[in-house]
Chains A and B, each alone.
Chain A
Amino acid sequence: MLKCRIIPILTFSGLALVKTKKFAGNARMVGNAVQAAKVFNSRNVDELAFLDIYASDQNRKINLQMVRSIINECFMPVAIGGGISTIKDIQDLLAIGADKVIIKSKIIKNPEFINEAANIFGNQCITLAIDAIKEGSDYFLYNRLGKTIPLVDFLNKIASFNFGEIILTSVNNDGMMSGFDIELVQLVEKLIKVPIVVSGGAGEPAHFKELFSKTNIEAVGAASIFYFTRYTSYDLKMAISSVGRPVRIINESFVPLN
């Protein structure tokens, strides 16, 4: 059976690992990216995501040397995002060992880029970051490009494009540690037919129980819970397993002899 994945999402400011609240600019510093990758690798997390969250705003490229150091610590799949706007950016990241790239700003400006990239690299490595912000009772696609885009319109428009996965983040719940936006997940899981990673709001194991019992998604992203609580991915897997969904538990470690 396919297991539910838990994916730590490392957000990087250009200088250090940071954690935002509701995507606001005054992010809190939480440590060193390479160290964090090392710890998550030793805990056998299912996957890792790394996002340089201000790269597009600041119109700069991701630091490939640092990304390489992060990937070198990881023996699980790694997805990398931040400032990706050309085919060469994707090529550079895949060449140093990224398994997937995460794209956001570029596909808001030019959705066709999704297909262009998938035709070259295969759709399996093209992950879209979909950040949803709720205003009143309506969801919009969060962006810092000054555009007002209803979320459902955008998802309907890109649904037939050739990508392999989305990371769906609730901006309202980001960093608040008070639970996932279940209504948002239920809305999006009907519209998108590729795997969905849900993020924004994880604060305690009960939130994972709620998410995995009320929706059919198979993957979840989290950050604050790993920085600010005592819970590890193992605790969260136990919570997911308690509502009858399959998880991957590693009991023993294999140490190569040579």
Chain B
Amino acid sequence: MKIAIIKYGMGNVSSVQKSLKKLGYDSIITDDHIEIRQADLIILPGVGSFQAGMENLQKSGLADFLTQEVVEKGKPFIGICLGMQLLATLGNEPCKCNGLGWIDGEVKKIKSKLRIPHLGWNNVQITDNKKDFYREFDNLDYYFIHSYHFVVRDSKDATLMVTYDFPMVAALQENNIYAMQFHPEKSQDAGMRLLKKIIDQYA
């Protein structure tokens, strides 16, 4: 199978490719519509600000194109960190702006007396949603680094939660769309296992 890692100027794409390689999957880093269309699975990584991320996706025509491929045609998709946040209806970084709107919700600044960003390894908890699939990841530590969090409108979209002062969404899933706030590609074995389990369903 071929995996397309979306290049849109928002950070660390090479680490994702390195993890996929270690797991034995072929991937390309690309913003080319034809290459993305030929891929069996799409990964949208990314770090940085929500607004800059959306602007970059729109500039290159990727926002509409990815919506077509993933939402309309149902191509398997994994969003990581900013790549998860951009799926929301609305973002607030640095100011209010529209996201891709694939999953109902808003990305808001973490309000807490604790140190922000929420930075480091934290354990995730499964929810009542898709429990059987996620059970083996319950309580594993993943690497987080974020100052904003995804507030879902429908709690049925959240598959993993994480607590830092209060519970936040750590992972989401709606049909073929998988997303995680943490960095599986930086989470050593726990991250590899999760990526492999998701991707292998489509291999």
Contacts and interface: CB of A to CB of B under 8 A. Distances in A.
A binds B: yes
B49 interface: yes
A77 to B, nearest CB: 5
A175 B12 CA distance: 33
Query: Which interface class (under 10, 10 to 19, 20 to 34, 35 or more) fits A?
Result: 35 or more
B190 to A, nearest CB: 8
B143 interface: yes
A250 B23 CA distance: 19
Nearest to B164: A2
B155 interface: no
Chain B interface mostly: mixed
Query: Which interface class (under 10, 10 to 19, 20 to 34, 35 or more) fits B?
Result: 35 or more
A1 B164 CA distance: 7
Interface in A206-258: 218-219, 248, 250, 252-254, 256, 258
Interface string A1-30: 111010000000000000000000000000
B149 interface: no
Given A1-B163, A77-B183, A253 B189 contact: yes
A157 B7 CA distance: 37
A124 B120 contact: no
A121 interface: yes
A250 B193 CA distance: 14
A195 B18 contact: no
Given A2-B120, A248-B141, 11 more contacts: A3-B120, A76-B186, A97-B18, A99-B186, A119-B49, A121-B11, A123-B147, A164-B147, A194-B116, A250-B188, A256-B23
